[in-house]
Every structure is written in C-alpha cells, then in structure tokens.
Amino acid sequence: MSFTKAVVRQVGRDLGKVVSNKVFGDRHSTPYRRVGSNASSGSRQQRQQQRQQPSQQAQQQVSSRQEVQEQKITSNEFDKAIGFATTFTAPTMVRKLAGVYEVMKNEIHKAKQDGYLDTDESTMVFKMESEFMHKAEIITDLLELEEEKNKSHLEKLQKIVELTQRLIKEAIELSLKGAKIQKQYYENQKDQYHAPDFKRYAGFGTIWMLNYARTGEKNLLNTIVANAISLFAVVAEPAFLVIYLVSFFIAVGKFSKDKNTNQQMLELIDREIEIEEQRIKLFEGMKMDSDELIE
C-alpha cells in the first residue's frame, strides 16, 4: 500500500504549491473578478457582454456561456464533508472520504458548465483537492498501522485517490483553458484603449463638444445651444471671447486627466496579461505532470 501513500503525498505537495502560488493570490487589481461567495462583483454573463472576441472560436465561447445558467461553486458542502473525525472505524472513514470525492465532483461539474474554470473557481477547486489529499494521507497512515487487517479498505482508498487524480487532471485542463480565455479577454480590452488625441480634445472642446472628443457621442442640441449663447455673448461684448479660452483650458485639463487614466489602465491590463501568462505556464507544466501520472 506504500504506492497509495506515495501518490497521495506527491499529489498533495503539488497541489499545495499551486494554491500557494502568487498567480492565484494576485487578482486584486482586476475589476472583473468572479468571487465564489456573496461578495461577487458580477456574473460571467455580465462580463461576457463587455467582451469582444475576435475569432470564431471565441465567439462560440460567448454563445456557449450565454446559454448556460450560472451555478456558483461554493465550498460549503465540501467543508461539511471533509470535516469528519479520523476516530471512526476504517470502513466509515473510507466511506466518508468517498463522499468527499462526490462533493468535489459535483462542484467541478457546476463550475465547468461554461467549458472552463476561471481564476477563483480554479483556486477553490485546487484547495478542495489539496485538503482532500491531506485527509487521505492521514487516513492512509492510520489504516497502515494495521495494514493486513485494513487491506481491503486501503484498496478502496487507493481507488478513491485514483478517481480524484482524474478530477485533478480535469481541473488542470479546464483551468488552462480558462487562463487562455482570460488572457485573450485582457488583450481585447487593451486593444480598445487608444491614446487621447490632443488636437481632437482642443478643437472639439473649444466649441463645446468635449464629450464627443472623449467618447464619440454627439449631442447636437446642446452644442448648438452652447455655441449660440457664446456667439451672442461675444457679439454683445467682445471681451466674452474669454469663454472660448476657458473651454479650451477645460479641454486641455480633461485631455491630461484622460491620458493619465488611459496609461494607468494599460499598465493594469498589461499586468493582468502577465499574470495570465504565468498561470498558463503553470497549468501547462501541471498538465504534463498529470499526463505522466495518469495514463
């Protein structure tokens, strides 16, 4: 039964490295984070409406995601299942561990309905699997104290571990897919940011069309009224030309502010892309390891 213990410990160590890796903890900067709790900042469908996928494959992802009704993955049932004491009899502990496996399987099933695991889903799933392996290792140690007597229970435990390894492999593949999709999303977001044009701001801003210069949205009625009032005032008193000077400086101020904001967002998005690239490398390495372990 030493093979079972070796597998449990190895997988447990690998998962421990994953859940403690900085790429799972460095998501504070993204405004699109999906949180597997009541603190969720928005649903996937809301984020999907903001995405613009350039390829046919990405568009198919959009369609698939919109057709699926979101089911939030939680750790509530898992926490209840994994919390059993290790003072039970051998068959009871093995049976309860099998129950934990079923809970994990159900949670992964919920999470993968749209075809992948996002950052927070991956984090939660890997933490569950890591805790499962830790519990399995404890039970294995206890059962091996009377190895001959618990031979049949250890064999059952080994089968449960093997099934869990397949769950882990599936979670890795779904997480890899999710990281690639998320990276593409941030790259699309980056493409939507363009440096503000000073001439555009100064020109349109001076004639009371600053909103058009910034967003491309026109409000001709407001523009006509504002310019009519300004022209009337200038005709009545040429000194009122200062009105256009004021509008010019307002436009210059907005240009400076928007330019800084744009730069900050680009830096933020570049950081998110870098994080997703790290996650992709991580999952690709894990996938190679799992392919060797599970044939």
First to last CA, the chain: 20
Q: What is the pLDDT of residue 69?
A: 42
Kindly write down the DSSP assignment for every residue of 89-149, as one continuous string. -HHHHHHHHHHHHHHHHHHHHHHGGGSS--HHHHHHHHHHHHHHHHHHHHHHHHHGGGTTT
What angle do the packed helices 151-191 and 119-143 form, to 10 degrees?
A: 170
Confidence band, pLDDT 50/70/90 cuts, at residue 19? low
Calculate the average pLDDT of the chain.
Answer: 77
pLDDT tens for each residue of 106-165: 999 988 888 999 888 888 888 898 889 889 989 999 999 998 999 999 999 989 988 988
Are 181 and 48 contacting, i.e. CB atoms less than 8 angstroms apart? no
pLDDT tens for each residue of 174-215: 999 999 999 999 999 888 877 888 888 888 877 877 787 777
Q: Is a pLDDT exceeding 60 seen at residue 54?
A: no
Q: How many CA atoms within 13 Å lie on the side-chain side of 245?
A: 6
Whose CA is closest to 171, among 107, 122, 120, 119?
Answer: 122
Task: Map 171-215 to HEC letters.
Answer: HHHHHHHHHHHHHHHHHHHHHCCCCCCHHHHHHHHHCCCHHHHHH
Residues 269, 68, 120, 295: is their CA dihedral positive or negative?
A: negative
Are 138 and 88 contacting, i.e. CB atoms less than 8 angstroms apart? no
Confidence band, pLDDT 50/70/90 cuts, at residue 294? low
Are 111 and 163 contacting, i.e. CB atoms less than 8 angstroms apart? no
Residue 101 CA to residue 156 CA, distance in Å, equals 13
Q: How many helices and strands in the chain, by DSSP H and E?
A: 12, 0
Residue 228 CA to residue 8 CA, distance in Å, equals 78
- The residue with tokens 């959009």 is 62
Residue 248 CA to residue 254 CA, distance in Å, equals 10
**How is residue 161 written in tokens?**
């571990």
Confidence band, pLDDT 50/70/90 cuts, at residue 53? very low
Q: What is the pLDDT of residue 50?
A: 42
Q: What is the pLDDT of residue 105?
A: 93
Q: pLDDT above 90 covers what percent of the chain?
A: 24
Residue 126 CA to residue 117 CA, distance in Å, equals 11
